[in-house]
Amino acid sequence: MRVYNFNPGPSTLPTEVLEKVQAELLDYQGKGLSVMEMSHRSPEFSDILARAKQNLRDVMKINDNYEILFLQGGASLQFFMLPMNFLSPETKADYIDTGSWASKAVKEARPFGSINVIFSGKNENYSRIPSWNNLPFSDDALYCHITSNNTIYGTQYKDYGNPGGPKLVADMSSDIMTRSFDIEKFSMIYAGAQKNLGPSGVTLVIIRKDFAAKAKSDIPTLLQYKTHIEKDSLYNTPPTFAIYLVMCITEWAVKKGGIDALEKECRVKAGMVYETVDGTDFYIPTASKDSRSLTNITFRLKNEALEKIFIEEAKKEKLIGLKGHRSVGGIRVSNYSAMSLKGIQTLVDFMKDFEKRNT
Amino acid sequence: MRVYNFNPGPSTLPTEVLEKVQAELLDYQGKGLSVMEMSHRSPEFSDILARAKQNLRDVMKINDNYEILFLQGGASLQFFMLPMNFLSPETKADYIDTGSWASKAVKEARPFGSINVIFSGKNENYSRIPSWNNLPFSDDALYCHITSNNTIYGTQYKDYGNPGGPKLVADMSSDIMTRSFDIEKFSMIYAGAQKNLGPSGVTLVIIRKDFAAKAKSDIPTLLQYKTHIEKDSLYNTPPTFAIYLVMCITEWAVKKGGIDALEKECRVKAGMVYETVDGTDFYIPTASKDSRSLTNITFRLKNEALEKIFIEEAKKEKLIGLKGHRSVGGIRVSNYSAMSLKGIQTLVDFMKDFEKRNT
């Protein structure tokens, strides 16, 4: 029996997608070989790549001003690839520090240009997202970097208002394909696939063409955005099987009804958990109410000694991966697109029952 | 029915391994989730990682002077990561240019230090590997970079004699785990997994500890070998499913009898193809006899117009992926570890029959 998997990433994938992948693992569409064994330059893989891209455009409403790339190295590689491509000692970018990953992005960018951290939530234990109003944007920043959702702290931008600021670059690793956004507000979006898009090992980059045109060419070939745009993500051997999974999962997302349907379901599921947390003082939410994440819901138990027991007893109900990040403790419910309503209902029932048994 | 897949990479994988992967795709060892859905910090994945490393040590006789790392980005990322970690404008490395990939390694290294190309086969259409004797090694090179096997040109080093030269760094992407070597001759070995070790998307790096100790720390965190050594390949989310495949395939290699058994079989299979090519003037081998590759066997047809027909008719016998690289043309037989003796026998029978029908 499959468990309800609340791991923050790598994380749960749709069972029906895994069943399809399983069925064709040794023989893709009667070709007599696995997708893993195919040349990345074969017509079959070209089709997989093209469909993955088109599905992403369809689901997230990405227009032709933007290129879609599949890279390797995770968000951590983008932390330095981005500034290496666009900054120099004479130029500047704004960064908003809303958590551990945002802070790593700042650290890796510093050697490449002038980095202006226009907000840091560090002294507030990263419990909130700043309001877009009154942020001290630089006049001459080439971009403003944000982390759209903070997996560890359970916070998330409610909108991308950004009045008066430069176009955004967002690390959307933990909430991409869970809610709609206006792509035109962004110069670039990147996301490790392993939360909402597929397995680990492939990184989605959505980059605005006129932004990419300003990228450097005097850096290692593999680290140039231009290389991957020119070669359509086939400069070197891409992670073919991971891209195939992205194709399958985005196909599933299309069938679900696209981003609006996914967002609606995500909000319903998150609402069920937050309602349970808010309806008692047995559970204590950790993120500011106005900054709560839809994809990573974090809370403590009033009696922190019970947290270990909560996690152990949840496992018996097939609810796994609920332990909060080691840097903050407590409980974390990762509510990605592939988490079923039934999984959330089972969790909420368990939470209520656990409370009853322990008060 | 499964085809005989001679693709140069991504390439054929052992059917029995794929069957095992298929069987546990939705439920790994009764845990109720796929390997793709597991946290990379879970006990289950820690075990997969540890077993993959130990299998590699066992199969290839890698001693404890060396670290084993799983990175992303393919050999192409190592082309600049290596010199970025070890070179500076004042220091030097020797490079031997035996093909397109070796030449790319040279190009990506140049910005980081003094690169001394001590042999280039470019003017001979990369048809041979130089003899180790009389190579003009630099007195002060920090390493000598080689490409152990040239997938495109069908050439391969017969030994790693290297008298009087610095320790080697080898790109072994296309012949790792097909023949034995003395690890002590190397400061570092790297290999994209997609030919002999697994699917694309994971890069094996075997690095000598005292060499790694000299690597830089003032470069992006993800590009430091030290980062991955300290964090045991878990600095950021690794390509977990690809590493799991490496574990499965190295387990299969252990059962086969390790490197000596793999090499013996590789030589038998390659011998069957070369014997067929040499026994006629219908087929014309392209690599120098003393430099012939065991893993990529390249030849032309005397009547080049027949090559397209050869490839098309081979497909009807379920023999696929035989087309030579677009830069050289002709036929290429990729004879990696997972290619069965039966596949090679079927190919050789076809070659003889094709010759008979066309002379």
Which domains can be identified in chain A, with CATH numbers? 4-10+258-358 (3.90.1150.10), 15-256 (3.40.640.10)
Q: How far is A2 from chain B (nearest CA, A)?
A: 4
A vs B: CB pairs below 8 A: 197
Mean pLDDT for chain A overall: 97
Residue of A39, A199, A235 lying closest to B240 (CB–CB): A199
Q: In what helix (H) or strand (E) does residue B58 lie, and over which residues does it extend?
A: helix B43-60
B304 at the A interface (CB within 8 A)? no
What DSSP assignment string belongs to B206-269?
Answer: EEEHHHHTT--SSS-GGG-HHHHHHTTT-SS---HHHHHHHHHHHHHHHHHTHHHHHHHHHHHH
For residues B89-94, give the mean pLDDT: 97
Q: List, in order, residues 6 or more apart from A326 with CB less than 8 Å away.
A: none
Q: Give CA–CA dist A130/A11, Å, rounded.
A: 28
Q: Tell me, what's the pLDDT at A163? A: 82
Residues of chain B with C-beta less than 8 angstroms from the C-beta of A73: 72-73, 77, 222, 236
Contact criterion met (CB < 8 Å) for B37 and A10: yes
Contact criterion met (CB < 8 Å) for A76 and B236: yes
ipTM score for this prediction: 0.98
Q: Tell me, what's the pLDDT at A326? A: 84
Q: Give CA–CA dist A316/A347, Å, rounded.
A: 12
Contact criterion met (CB < 8 Å) for A38 and B239: no
For residues A34-54, give the mean pLDDT: 97
Q: List, in order, residues 6 or more apart from B54 with CB less than 8 Å away.
A: none
- Structural tokens at position A323: 């332990």
Q: Given 3-state DSSP classes, what are the helix, strand and coil percentages for chain A, each rounded to the nearest 5?
A: 40, 20, 40
Which CA distances in Å does B138 have to B53, B114, B116, B163? 34, 11, 8, 12
A14 at the B interface (CB within 8 A)? no
The answer on pLDDT for A151 being more than 90 is: yes
Q: Is B153 helix (H, G, I), strand (E, B) or coil?
A: coil
Residues of chain B with C-beta less than 8 angstroms from the C-beta of A320: 32-33
Residue of A3, A74, A237 lying closest to B9 (CB–CB): A237
Q: Which residue out of B200, B203, B223 would a mutagenesis test of the A interface target, given it has the greatest number of A Cβ atoms within 10 Å?
A: B200
Identify the weakest region by mean pLDDT among A280-289, A324-333, B90-99.
A324-333
Residue given tokens 């089709």 in the structure block: A47
Angle (nearest 5°) at CA A25 between A23 and A27: 90
For residues A334-342, give the mean pLDDT: 97
For the stretch A234-262, pLDDT in tens is 999 999 999 999 999 999 999 999 999 99
Contact criterion met (CB < 8 Å) for A8 and B39: yes
Q: Shortest CA distance to B85 belongs to which of B215, B235, B197? A: B215
Check the CA dihedral A199-B68-A223-B200 and report its sign. negative
A19 at the B interface (CB within 8 A)? yes
B15 at the A interface (CB within 8 A)? yes
- B10 cis-preceded (ω within 30 degrees of 0): yes
The single residue of B53, B195, B269, B323 carrying the catalytic annotation is: B195
Q: Tell me, what's the pLDDT at A164? A: 84
Chain B contacts in chain A segment 105-124 (CB below 8 A): 107-108, 111
Q: Give CA–CA dist A206/A191, Å, rounded.
A: 9
- A175 burial (CB, 10 Å; 0-12 / 13-18 / 19+) is buried
A10 at the B interface (CB within 8 A)? yes
For the stretch A156-173, pLDDT in tens is 999 999 888 899 999 999
Q: How far is A95 from chain B (nearest CA, A)?
A: 18
Contact criterion met (CB < 8 Å) for A18 and B26: yes
Chain A contacts in chain B segment 38-57 (CB below 8 A): 38-40, 42
* Helix locations, chain A, DSSP H: 15-23, 43-60, 74-86, 100-109, 209-212, 225-230, 240-256, 258-278, 307-316, 341-357
Which CA distances in Å does B315 have to A47, B154, B350? 20, 22, 11
Which CA distances in Å does A182 have to A82, A157, A168, A201, B261? 21, 13, 11, 27, 58
| Annotation says A289 is catalytic | no
What DSSP assignment string belongs to B18-49?
Answer: HHHHHHTSSSGGGSSS-GGGS-TTSHHHHHHH
For residues B8-33, give the mean pLDDT: 97
For residues B124-138, give the mean pLDDT: 95
Q: How far is B324 from chain A (nearest CA, A)?
A: 13
Other beta carbons within 10 Å of B232:
16
Chain A contacts in chain B segment 134-193 (CB below 8 A): 192
Contact criterion met (CB < 8 Å) for A321 and B39: yes
Contact criterion met (CB < 8 Å) for B7 and A221: no
For the stretch B27-76, pLDDT in tens is 999 999 999 999 999 999 999 999 999 999 999 999 999 999 999 999 99
- B219 burial (CB, 10 Å; 0-12 / 13-18 / 19+) is middle
Q: Tell me, what's the pLDDT at B277? A: 98
Q: How far is A39 from chain B (nearest CA, A)?
A: 5
| Annotation says A195 is catalytic | yes
The answer on pLDDT for B182 being more than 90 is: yes
Band (pLDDT 50/70/90 cuts) for residue B333 is very high
Residues of chain B with C-beta less than 8 angstroms from the C-beta of A241: 199-201, 241-242
Residue in chain A nearest B173 by alpha carbon? A237
Residue given tokens 């002999």 in the structure block: B196
| Annotation says B27 is catalytic | no
Band (pLDDT 50/70/90 cuts) for residue B210 is very high
For residues A72-100, give the mean pLDDT: 98
Band (pLDDT 50/70/90 cuts) for residue A116 is very high
Q: Tell me, what's the pLDDT at A328? A: 86
A201 at the B interface (CB within 8 A)? yes
Chain A contacts in chain B segment 63-102 (CB below 8 A): 72-77, 79-80, 84
Q: Give CA–CA dist B285/A6, Å, rounded.
A: 56
Mean pLDDT for chain B overall: 97
Band (pLDDT 50/70/90 cuts) for residue B164 is confident
CA A305 to chain centre: 31
- Structural tokens at position B22: 């298929």
Check the CA dihedral A97-A100-A101-A107 and report its sign. positive
For residues B94-99, give the mean pLDDT: 98
Contact criterion met (CB < 8 Å) for B201 and A239: yes
